[in-house]
Amino acid sequence: MVKVGIVGGTGYTGVELLRLLAQHPQAEVAVITSRSEAGLAVADMYPNLRGHYDGLAFSVPDIKTLGACDVVFFATPHGVAHALAGELLAAGTKVIDLSADFRLQDAEEWAKWYGQPHGAPELLDEAVYGLPEVNREQIKKARLIAVPGCYPTATQLGFLPLLEAGLADTSRLIADCKSGVSGAGRGAAVGSLYSETSESMKAYAVKGHRHLPEIRQGLRRAAGKDVGLTFVPHLTPMIRGIHSTLYATVVDRSVDLQALFEKRYANEPFVDVMPAGSHPETRSVRGANVCRIAVHRPQDGDLVVVLSVIDNLVKGASGQAVQNMNILFGLDERFGLSHAGMLP
Ligand SMILES: NC(=O)C1=CN([C@@H]2O[C@H](COP(=O)(O)OP(=O)(O)OC[C@H]3O[C@@H](n4cnc5c(N)ncnc54)[C@H](OP(=O)(O)O)[C@@H]3O)[C@@H](O)[C@H]2O)C=CC1
Ligand SMILES: CC(=O)N[C@@H](CCC(=O)OP(=O)(O)O)C(=O)O
């Protein structure tokens, strides 16, 4: 049994970790933290988990109890893992961070986008970017894993086959992405109110979103050179889901793109390349650790349109975090992650 600690158990990604780990045959949640709900039983806060975590209550974060775990997930705002990861690693505990604290390799760039100094630059060299479809071998040996963001997961998985094959004009890539409102977290905010979001849709951060450098970093690795990327996120009236519509210009029209994508992801348990002509829906991945992708070439021209959908809380956060844990501990990568998507 892998002994698990979770820091930040009262947020959306924290409860999603609990939901997924409740079905995991080889993991036991021993510690779950919350400063605001310390002392409350997990089942009293989350009635859907009654019968799964009897006897487990929230506690304030404490290095001693967390350091007795095999692995600690951080489901916390940026900066929290910076403060605690070093001590946990020194105690022999592995760290899987769902926040952005260790996603960017450059501490200066992180400070620029996150508006605060990087709190643990000495750990950056050993942090592994937890996108299994790219870094599976490094994840197996890691002590510290940075789980990718939600937009970056959907966008990178959609662009990777084209870039790795050198088939796209890398000077002009476009990612037009839509997110459900749970992407903004559970904290109270006017912009997340039902009355503000339920019958409306808007773009935001067009000038520059903090996922831009993260996506660019991943695409640069895939292409072997810098890429020109326009990334426009939108808030849509749904609770969960990311829909990324990706545009690229192909440099060789003779290549069978459907075959290219199918081959790239043939051995990936959590990427589903749909039949040619498909239009994946976010509801088909709701609750599931799956990225569904469809590739189109309208009018057989040189423009490629890739449609990529995930559940932001599962493949975009907690599911991907559990997938990383499974790889790290040599377990079946699918443990805890067998849920199908939900229709309707
Ligand atoms: N929502 C999403 O779709 C995605 C989120 N992420 C990232 O995952 C992380 C968590 O997101 P989400 O679950 O939405 O966030 P929430 O705002 O919903 O929850 C944050 C949690 O962190 C705890 N927390 C806050 N401050 C501290 C602190 N200083 N020390 C310890 N615990 C703290 C809170 O509990 P308490 O205050 O009681 O201690 C709460 O349980 C974020 O970094 C987010 O960017 C990544 C991908 C997708
Ligand atoms: C809809 C919405 O607000 N989405 C969030 C992104 C999701 C997220 O939390 O990602 P990080 O872990 O990288 O911060 C945003 O745009 O900031």
Range of the domain at 222: 150-312
Q: How far is the CA of 225 from the centre of ligand 1 (A)?
A: 33
Q: Are residues 92 and 203 in the same domain?
A: no
Domain termination residue (choose one: 84, 110, 126): 126
Rounded distance between C-alpha atoms, residue 29 and residue 261, angstroms:
37
- With a 6 Å cutoff on the Cβ, whether 8 touches ligand 1 is yes
> Does residue 37 form part of some domain?
yes
- Give the three-state DSSP class for 23: coil
Please give the backbone phi and psi of residue 41, each rounded to the nearest 5 degrees, phi first: -70, 145
CB 76 within 8 A of CB 7: yes
pLDDT of residue 59: 98
Taking the CA atoms of residue 110, residue 111, residue 113 and residue 116 in that order, the dihedral angle to the nearest 10 degrees is: 130
State how many domains the chain has.
2
Q: Are residues 121 and 158 in the same domain?
A: no
Instruction: Give me the residue label for tokens 């849920």.
Output: 339
Q: Are residues 257 and 170 in the same domain?
A: yes
- For the record, the structure tokens of 330 come out as 């040599």
- For the record, the structure tokens of 26 come out as 């080889």
Q: How confident is the model at residue 344 (pLDDT cuts 50, 70, 90)?
A: confident
Domain termination residue (choose one: 74, 92, 126): 126
pLDDT of residue 236: 97
Q: Are residues 54 and 89 in the same domain?
A: yes
> Does residue 320 form part of some domain?
no
CB 76 within 8 A of CB 8: yes
Q: Are residues 162 and 307 in the same domain?
A: yes
> Does residue 188 form part of some domain?
yes
Residue closest via CA to ligand 1's atom 45 equals: 99
Domain termination residue (choose one: 63, 94, 126): 126
Q: Are residues 115 and 224 in the same domain?
A: no
> Does residue 119 form part of some domain?
yes
Q: How confident is the model at residue 239 (pLDDT cuts 50, 70, 90)?
A: very high
Q: Are residues 90 and 204 in the same domain?
A: no
Most informative mutation of 101, 150, 193, 216 for ligand 2 (most atoms within 8 A of CB): 150
> Does residue 291 form part of some domain?
yes
Q: Are residues 19 and 103 in the same domain?
A: yes
CB 130 within 8 A of CB 147: yes
pLDDT in tens, 256-276: 999 999 999 999 999 999 999
Question: What is the predicted ipTM?
Answer: 0.96
Whether residue 344 has a cis bond before it, omega within 30° of 0: yes
Most informative mutation of 98, 151, 178, 186 for ligand 2 (most atoms within 8 A of CB): 151
CB 2 within 8 A of CB 70: yes
Q: Could you please report the per-residue DSSP string of 129-169? A: E--HHHHHHHHHH-SEEEPPPHHHHHHHHHHHHHHHTT-B-
In angstroms, how far is CA 203 from the centroid of its own chain? Answer: 21
Most informative mutation of 7, 13, 46, 66 for ligand 1 (most atoms within 8 A of CB): 13
> Does residue 62 form part of some domain?
yes
Average pLDDT, the chain: 97
Q: Residue 244: is it exposed, middle or buried by C-beta count within 10 angstroms (0-12/13-18/19+)?
A: buried
Q: Are residues 293 and 163 in the same domain?
A: yes
Rounded distance between C-alpha atoms, residue 219 and residue 222, angstroms:
5
- Give the three-state DSSP class for 284: helix
Rounded distance between C-alpha atoms, residue 225 and residue 220, angstroms:
5
Q: 325 pLDDT exceeds 90?
A: yes
The CATH number of the domain holding residue 36 is 3.40.50.720
Rounded distance between C-alpha atoms, residue 178 and residue 164, angstroms:
25
pLDDT of residue 189: 95
Q: Are residues 77 and 172 in the same domain?
A: no
Whether residue 25 has a cis bond before it, omega within 30° of 0: no
Q: Are residues 122 and 6 in the same domain?
A: yes
- For the residues 111-132, what does the mean pLDDT come to? 98
Q: How far is the CA of 75 from the centre of ligand 1 (A)?
A: 5
| Residue 150 annotated among the catalytic residues of the structure | yes
The CATH number of the domain holding residue 237 is 3.30.360.10
**Strand 242-249 versus strand 303-310 pairing type:** antiparallel
pLDDT in tens, 47-63: 999 999 999 999 999 99
> Does residue 331 form part of some domain?
no
- Give the three-state DSSP class for 245: strand
- For the record, the structure tokens of 103 come out as 């996603």
- For the residues 187-205, what does the mean pLDDT come to? 94
pLDDT of residue 204: 97
pLDDT of residue 252: 95
Q: How far is the CA of 272 from the centre of ligand 1 (A)?
A: 29
Q: 331 pLDDT exceeds 90?
A: yes
> Does residue 332 form part of some domain?
no
Q: How do the residues of the chain divide into helix, strand and coil, expressed in percent and rounded to 5?
A: 35, 20, 40
Which atom of ligand 1 is closest in space to residue 13's alpha carbon?
13
Q: Are residues 16 and 160 in the same domain?
A: no
Residue closest via CA to ligand 2's atom 13 equals: 149
